[in-house]
Structures are given as structure tokens and as C-alpha cells.
């Protein structure tokens, strides 16, 4: 698969570094560094396009400027891309409304675009968390999401069954956070593994927005942290002890 990444700054750099290091053999990753400054509305988008681009199957937009979204339809023409992933890790970089417009523009050209919010909510069938979840169907995006998106792990415990012995990353977050978390969980008691995963996610640190997102009513960083914790919880499955809380003064009835 040939991937063209649109990157502006540190956010994009971290994702590109992780992609280049851990992408499957045979994937080709090229980067177009977007302009650092763009006007809010592009009257003539062609003035900001590169003269040429390498051929691509999929565009991954990690831009930190909303106006880059207006360039993406023409960038698909220049590269030949048939699908677009444009994550929303910060609505200052890609507002939700503009993301919907982008999907509409690309749909008119027969190109599928998904806008996972946050990026680590992307799976092979759907994007987003909680009530915002929606499905998609495109082979190129699905292929990408096999390896990068919503974290997934396999976890082995030690002989006592009470501590984590080894963690295998089944699917990494594109930024590399899942791989970082997995590398720090060995030896952690099962009883504290989920919370420890949340702390490690924060220490990486997650690059999702710390401002309250109006659609979730929560920060995207917190939503992302919960996705990471849920991934560890799912990997542990029935090995996690169920905790029961006994209210103060409770007396169990006899008989």
C-alpha cells in the first residue's frame, strides 16, 4: 500500500516516525509537508498545491491547519489516492463541521473519507467512541486499520496468574502510544493494570486535545485514555477479578 501523509508539525512527525518504523513490509510512505501558514479560506487552492506528488493509494492527513482540508480533494487528484483518513485529534486543526464537508466533497469524486475522533478510535469496521460511533466500508482503510488505530493487545500472565508477564501489540495507535504502554506493563499486577495503562497513556504523552470537545462533553485526550484502558481490560478478559462494594452498615440476610 502506498500512503501519502500530509504533515505540518510535531503531531505529524510522531505519527510518521512510528509508521515508518512499524508499517508492514511493502508499504511505501511518502510525506508532503504542508505550508505552515494558510488563510482561513482558500479562494484559489491551486496556489498552495505542490507541482507534483508521488502516486498514492491512501492519503493520511495529519495537518495542523483547517485550511489543508480544502486542498485534499485536489491532492487526491494529484496522487491518485482512492481513500482518505483525516483524524480529528483537535477540532482547532480539523473542525467537525469541516470534516463533514470534506467527506461530501470527496464522495462526489467517488473517494471514501473517514474522520476518526480521536484517531485511536479507528477499527476495521467503525470510527469514534460512544454515541458518535459510525461504520465504514473500504478495503484500503480497513487494511490500514489492521495495524494502526484502536489499540489491541494480547496479554500473558506469570505462573501465579496475578502479574503481567508479556504484552503483544496486535494493533498500535498510529502515534505509537500502544507500543509504549505495552513496553511498560510487564510485572504490573493485574489488579492495577488498567489504571496503569491510563497513566502510561498520559505520560507518553497523548497528543489529542486537552480542551473539552462539545460533541463528547469530555476532552479527546480523556476519550483516548479510556480507549487505551478498555483495550487492556478486553485483553485481560475474565482474568480481572470482579470487585464488589459492600455499603457501610450492610448486613447480609440469613436463610
* Cell numbers representing residue 114 in the block: 473517514
For the record, the C-alpha cell of 205 comes out as 504523552
How is domain 2-115 classified at the architecture level of CATH?
3-Layer(aba) Sandwich (3.40)
Section 110-134 average pLDDT = 97
CATH class of 152-239: alpha beta
pLDDT-based confidence at residue 242 (cuts at 50, 70, 90): low
Contact 48, 35 (CB under 8 A): yes
Average pLDDT over residues 149-163: 96
Report the pLDDT value the prediction gives residue 255, as an integer from 0 to 100. Answer: 45
Residue 151 pLDDT > 70: yes
More confident residue, 241 or 59: 59
Q: Specify the higher pLDDT residue, 89 or 42.
A: 89
pLDDT of residue 40: 77
Are the beta carbons of 128 and 158 closer than 8 angstroms?
no
- Spatial separation of the C-alpha atoms in residues 123 and 247, rounded to whole Å: 40
The residue-averaged pLDDT of 47-65 equals 95
Which segments within 89-232 are labelled E, that is strand? 112-114, 126-127, 134-135, 152-157, 164-171, 212-213, 218-219
Domain limits, the chain: 2-115, 152-239
Decide: 138 and 145 in contact? Cβ < 8 Å: no
Instruction: Give tens-digit pLDDT for 207-232.
Output: 999 999 999 999 999 999 999 999 99
Identify the pLDDT of residue 45: 80
Residue 244 has pLDDT above 80, yes or no: no
pLDDT given for residue 118 in this prediction: 98
Query: What does pTM read for this prediction?
Result: 0.92
Phi and psi based region of residue 204 (left: phi greater than 0; alpha: psi -120 to 50; beta: remaining): alpha
Amino acid at each position: 500500500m502506498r500512503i501519502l501523509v500530509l504533515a505540518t508539525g510535531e503531531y505529524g512527525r510522531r505519527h510518521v516516525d512510528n509508521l515508518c518504523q512499524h508499517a508492514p513490509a511493502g508499504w511505501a510512505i511518502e510525506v508532503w509537508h504542508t505550508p505552515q501558514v494558510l488563510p482561513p479560506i482558500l479562494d484559489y487552492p491551486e496556489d498552495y498545491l505542490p507541482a507534483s506528488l508521488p502516486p498514492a493509494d491512501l492519503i493520511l492527513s495529519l495537518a495542523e491547519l483547517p485550511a489543508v482540508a480544502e486542498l485534499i480533494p485536489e491532492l487526491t487528484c494529484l496522487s491518485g489516492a482512492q481513500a482518505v483518513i483525516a483524524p480529528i485529534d483537535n477540532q482547532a486543526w480539523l473542525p467537525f463541521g469541516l470534516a463533514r464537508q470534506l467527506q461530501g466533497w470527496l464522495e462526489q469524486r467517488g473517494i471514501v473519507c473517514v474522520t476518526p475522533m480521536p484517531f485511536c478510535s479507528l477499527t476495521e469496521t467503525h470510527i469514534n467512541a460512544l454515541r458518535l460511533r459510525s461504520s465504514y466500508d473500504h478495503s484500503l482503510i480497513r487494511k490500514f486499520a489492521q495495524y494502526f488505530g484502536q489499540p489491541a493487545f494480547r496479554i500473558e500472565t506469570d505462573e501465579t496468574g496475578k502479574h503481567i508477564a508479556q504484552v503483544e501489540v496486535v494493533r498500535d495507535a498510529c502515534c505509537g502510544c500502544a507500543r509504549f504502554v505495552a513496553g511498560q506493563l510487564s510485572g504490573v499486577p493485574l489488579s492495577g493494570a488498567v489504571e496503569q495503562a491510563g497513566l502510561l497513556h498520559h505520560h507518553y504523552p497523548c497528543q489529542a486535545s486537552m480542551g473539552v470537545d462539545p460533541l463528547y462533553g469530555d476532552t479527546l485526550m480523556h476519550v483516548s485514555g479510556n480507549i487505551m484502558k478498555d483495550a487492556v481490560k478486553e485483553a485481560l478478559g475474565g482474568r480481572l477479578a470482579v470487585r464488589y462494594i459492600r455499603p457501610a452498615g450492610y448486613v447480609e440476610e440469613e436463610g
